[in-house]
Amino acid sequence: MMHYNTTEGKVVKRSKESVHVIVLGFTSAAIMSEDIREEFKYKIKHGAGCFASSSHKWHRIKVGSMIQFAVKSVDEEIGHISGSLIPPQTGCVHWLSKHSADAVSQTNSEAESFEEFLFSPITAIRCPVLAED
């Protein structure tokens, strides 16, 4: 099984082409349609769009949802994250916590999790400026 660095964020905008997320209230992330699992179909219900799983009726990603996503890259100059919902343990945090045996509950504070993310080996490779002492 392949390991992915993941982080969580709140969905602030979604369209058929992308999901936009805020991580820790200030860092932006974008997940483009090619990085969203095929099981998630964009649907409009009650005048609002969401990505709904075709495999699990209640697994939805909409504005306001907290999602867990894989980190593809980080732009160190502007602090923008490019993410992915392709790995299986990604999606709506609420749904994952109830339905996934492998879902990891976040026990650390957001600051500790973000610090862990910033100083993880993969982030240090992609963002050498963050790896400095």
Q: Give domain status of residue 11, yes or no.
A: yes
Q: pLDDT at position 25, please?
A: 83
Percent of the chain scored above 70 by pLDDT? 72
Of residues 49, 56, 50, the one with CA closest to residue 98: 56
Q: How many domains does the chain have?
A: 1
- The mean pLDDT of 36-50, rounded to a whole number, is 87
Residue pair 6/57 in contact by the 8 Å Cβ criterion: no
pLDDT tens string 90-127: 998 988 888 765 433 333 344 455 556 555 655 444 44
Q: Give domain status of residue 1, yes or no.
A: no
Q: pLDDT at position 85, please?
A: 92
pLDDT tens string 18-40: 999 999 888 899 999 999 999 99
Q: pLDDT at position 58, please?
A: 85
On whether the pTM is more than 0.75, the answer is no
* pLDDT greater than 60 at residue 13: yes
The domain that contains 80 carries what CATH number? Answer: 2.40.50.140
Q: pLDDT at position 2, please?
A: 58
CA distances from 116 to 49, 50, 106, 107, 119 (A): 33, 30, 12, 13, 5
